Amino acid sequence: MRLPLKPLKLPPSGAATLRSFSAEPHPSPPPPPPSLEGPDPSSHISQTLSLLQTTDPSSWTTNTTLHTLLSSLSPPSALKIARQLPNYQNALHFFNHLRSTSQPSDSISLAFQAVLEHAKRESPDSAGKLYELYVLSKDQNTPLSVNAATLLIKCFGQAEMLDEMIMVFDAVDEEMVNTDVLNLVVSGFLKWGRFDDALKMLDEMFETDSGYPPNSNTTGIVFSSILKRNWSGRSVTDEEICKLVSRFGAHGVYPSSIWFTQIISRFCRNRECEKAWVVVHEAMNSGLDVEVASCNALLTGLGQERDFARMNLLMKEMKEKGIKPNVVTYGIMIKHLCKFRRVDEALEVLEKMRDGELGIEPDVVIYNTLIDGLCKVGRQEEGLKLMEKMSLDSKCNPNTVTYNCLIDGFCKAGEIERGHELFEQMSKEGVEMNVITLNTLLGGMCRHGRVSTAMEFFNSMREKGLKGNAVTYTVLITAFCNANNIDKAMKLFDEMRENGCSPDAVVYYSLISGLSQAGRMDDATFIVSKMTEAGFGLDVISYNILIRGFCRKNKLDKASELLKDMEKNGVSPDRVTYNTLISFFCSNGDFTHAHKVMKKMISDGLTPTVVTYGALIQAYCSNDNIDAAMKIFRDMSSSSKVPPNTVIYNMLIDSLCKNDDVEVAISLMDDMKEKGVRPNSTTYNALFKGLQQRNWFEKALEFMDQMTEHACNPDYVTMEILTEWLSAVGETEKLRKFVQGYQISASTA
């Protein structure tokens, strides 16, 4: 049933309900025409009020003074009186009295609105109470004022009484519906995650000439709901967000700059830079003042996609539109120049900033980015100089990050001592160190095989009160695993939990990897169960590691169990998974299963890689089936378009030479040259062995020259073969020259 609702004029105070949900000031309705009232409406109201409060409701019908007062009651006064009555019960009596005395329906409506307002304030379960009253009003055919409807919609929306909410909304007269009412409905749906229902309401708002077009509150409600971390509804795709922004934009409304920037960042994070680009340009072209923060978000995304062209274009557009880059903008440009090792260009930007050419002073982040960039390309000495230089720039003192970058730079270069010196300089200069400083130094020590030094250092830091975090333990656990000290790694894992440091996924991954590598599959399985208990899942790489571990132990049953587990957990096998299995079957000489897996791989939409073919070629070679190996080799480059690499050629050349097919091996060397695949020392070693069998000395000399020419360094195997062979034929002079050439090429390299 649809209630007849008439639009009502509202007293100024009537806007209160709207104001509570609307950020925009509601336009004040005109004051009620004085002609309806007596000479003094406020005294009229106070007289009525005092009479209502001093007499019993049961006597109201017979009270002639009251009758006279109410006979000239205007609807706005009815609202005021009902509101000023002390409580809900009084207001309800008043409302009932107005009904029984056949007051104008406008007055009854507004009195009912006040009853609802009282009920909302007084009742602990206001939504339930309001619903009762709403049903009552429907039964009594009391028209709802727009504010009463608004109040009900808002209240039901908050109480997740969405059917009731929409029932009230449907009861509102079309001509009374306005943007604010629709905003409340949309907000109610979104609060409970009902995106699709909200979308239907938005569709109505977007319709041309809807009479209730979206406004900035609408965008605020929509985007703050769906972008919040605790969004409970179905996941909203970037596509949908993009469309929404455009549709709002067509109505000239945009999300606030904060949400706009968040949307841009989200698109960029999801590698949907194109959408971010479109949305920003739509906004710019519609004349919106896009803030520099939004542009910065887009620049970051473009940088991640290596789209330098568009980065520069955006910078140009910003300039045209008068959007001034800030220090963050230059930070992004510098960061991405550094990332692509264009450190000198990044330094030029710094110089321009220091010259005052850009009107923006460099800050500590700019310096840190550059110092890190220098360190990452092995120019840590320059980084150190830049740190000294920034100190001379007033108020730009090195901080913890500055030192961390430099310590990492020196450690990565193997200069652990310099790293340690910087660490000591830090405390001398009063720069606080943090857990990243500790982890950086520990990582440096571990990488250079100084695991026990690292452990001692960690212990001394702990004594000083600095606790390690999950990263610290990952560094140490990995180092102990690599040093084949699995027991110590396991001990550290227990220790970290005793110390109240909860392991994260990476800690588990590194331990699983270490244990699998060491062949301790039972321990690895145990850690997997611990990991699952802790609520972490395995990713495809850790599955691959485990599968490989079990294959090496010849436990195919365990490996296939893991495959089933993957499927159950929604982790799809990748090329490596299949290659691991193919290698396993190949190494067992089981070509039937190897080919079967390869078929499955292809049917899963994965193309075989050079590793797949390599496994097969390797297996056929060790089975002395060089013809089959050569057939695969030809297949891969012709039909499947997987170019063979050095490893493939090495296996074939080695096999051919061992099989005394040196001519074919040499033809493969030519093939390599033609295809631009570089031979390495393994290639030459295989070939030299074959040539030695045939005693093709001249050919060997040719390839020795080629090695020198290509700056391919001989290894100890090369030296062994050549020393034996050349001294046997009394050509040690040739060998001496060869070694000399190697030394020259090594020094120029």
Partner DNA sequence: CTAGGGTTAG
Q: Which residues bind DNA (CB under 7 A)?
A: 331, 335, 364-365, 368-369, 372, 399-402, 404-405, 408, 434-437, 439-440, 443, 469-475, 478, 481-482, 504-507, 509-510, 513-514, 539-542, 544-545, 548, 574-577, 579-580, 583, 587, 609-611, 614-615, 618, 645-648, 651
In contact, 202 and 186? CB cutoff 8 Å: yes
Mapped to the 3 state alphabet, what secondary structure does 245-281 carry?
HHHHHHCCCCCCHHHHHHHHHHHHHCCCHHHHHHHHH
Residue 501 Cβ vs DNA, minimum distance, rounded to whole Å:
10
Helices (H) and strands (E) in the chain, counts: 41, 0
Query: Which residue's CB is nearer to DNA, number 116 or number 438?
Result: 438
- Residue 34 DSSP class: G
Residue 748 Cβ vs DNA, minimum distance, rounded to whole Å:
25
Residue 577 Cβ vs DNA, minimum distance, rounded to whole Å:
7
Given the structure tokens 């610290």, which residue do they identify? 472
In contact, 162 and 192? CB cutoff 8 Å: yes
In contact, 120 and 130? CB cutoff 8 Å: yes
Query: Which residue's CB is nearer to DNA, number 212 or number 473?
Result: 473
Residue 613 Cβ vs DNA, minimum distance, rounded to whole Å:
7
Query: Which residue's CB is nearer to DNA, number 553 or number 575?
Result: 575
Query: Which residue's CB is nearer to DNA, number 168 or number 531?
Result: 531
Nearest to 415 by CA among 448, 454, 453, 368: 448
Rounded (10°) angle between helices 257-269 and 273-285: 150
Query: Which residue's CB is nearer to DNA, number 210 or number 482?
Result: 482
Residue 575 Cβ vs DNA, minimum distance, rounded to whole Å:
6
Residue 683 exposed, middle or buried by CB count within 10 Å (0-12, 13-18, 19+): buried
In contact, 614 and 647? CB cutoff 8 Å: yes
Query: Which residue's CB is nearer to DNA, number 198 or number 332?
Result: 332
In contact, 665 and 672? CB cutoff 8 Å: no
Q: CA–CA separation, 456 vs 476, rounded Å?
A: 11
Q: CA–CA separation, 668 vs 676, rounded Å?
A: 12
Residue 514 Cβ vs DNA, minimum distance, rounded to whole Å:
6
Query: Which residue's CB is nearer to DNA, number 318 or number 512?
Result: 512
Residue 656 exposed, middle or buried by CB count within 10 Å (0-12, 13-18, 19+): buried
Residue 553 Cβ vs DNA, minimum distance, rounded to whole Å:
14
110, 372, 511 from 346: Cα distances, Å: 68, 12, 39
Residue 400 Cβ vs DNA, minimum distance, rounded to whole Å:
6
Query: Which residue's CB is nearer to DNA, number 111 or number 492?
Result: 492
Given the structure tokens 């409905």, which residue do they identify? 185
Residue partners of 245: CB distance under 8 A and separation at least 6: 254, 255, 263, 279, 282
Residue 508 Cβ vs DNA, minimum distance, rounded to whole Å:
7
In contact, 111 and 91? CB cutoff 8 Å: yes
Q: CA–CA separation, 214 vs 202, rounded Å?
A: 8
Please, what is the Cα angle at 124 between 120 and 125, to 5 degrees?
80
Q: CA–CA separation, 693 vs 698, rounded Å?
A: 13
Side chain identity at residue 280, one-letter code: V
Residue 354 Cβ vs DNA, minimum distance, rounded to whole Å:
18
266, 483, 500, 503, 528 from 494: Cα distances, Å: 38, 19, 10, 10, 15
Query: Which residue's CB is nearer to DNA, number 242 or number 512?
Result: 512
Query: Which residue's CB is nearer to DNA, number 183 or number 402?
Result: 402
Query: Which residue's CB is nearer to DNA, number 198 or number 438?
Result: 438
Residue 503 Cβ vs DNA, minimum distance, rounded to whole Å:
7
Query: Which residue's CB is nearer to DNA, number 26 or number 553?
Result: 553
Residue 128 Cβ vs DNA, minimum distance, rounded to whole Å:
48
- SS3 for 38? coil
